[in-house]
Amino acid sequence: MHKGKPQILVILSSKKKHFVVPKGIKEPGLSPRESAAQEAWEEAGVEGDVGDTALGSYRYQKWGATCIVKVYPMRVTREIPEHEWEESHRGRQWVTPKQATKRLKQAELAPLVKALAKQLGALSET
């Protein structure tokens, strides 16, 4: 939240071709939420509180197979300084939910971003 309005953090893909959300393979020994937190640290350079429930999921093709991505919300509590962030070459941007739906490569993320924005809007009004 920034000035009472929801913000979404988007990052550039590793090849800087398009905007994505942090994602990766579920790490052995970690829960899906813990894996999401790990990916956010590595790919976006942020720490925070990962929600208990996934916002939803989407599928995409990679490595000749179909990957299923579960998307978890995170309340970011700390941005890692550029010099500490291992993947700072990616770049990161805080944008409005509307901007995020336009910038993110995966169209399947749009309804998840909108659902999160709706949840956050309801929370900011109480």
Q: In the 8-state DSSP scheme, what is residue 83?
A: T
pLDDT in the model for residue 123: 53
Q: Does 3 map to a domain? A: no
Specify whether the CB–CB gap between 11 and 92 falls below 8 A.
Answer: yes
Is 49 a member of any domain? yes
For residue 125, the model assigns a pLDDT of 47
At residue 126, the pLDDT reads: 39
Residue 92 confidence (pLDDT): 93
**Is residue 2 assigned to a domain?**
no
Domain that includes residue 76, residue range = 8-125
* Residue 59 domain-assigned (yes or no): yes
pTM of the entire predicted model: 0.85
| Rounded Cα gap, residues 80 and 78, in angstroms | 6
> Domain containing 107 — which CATH number?
3.90.79.10
* Residue 104 is assigned to a structural domain of this protein: yes
What pLDDT is recorded for position 52? Answer: 93
Assigned domain for 94 exists? yes
Q: Which helix (H) or strand (E) holds 99?
A: helix 97-103
How many domains, the chain? 1
| Parts of the chain with a pLDDT under 50 | 125-126
Which residue bears the tokens 């924005």? 117
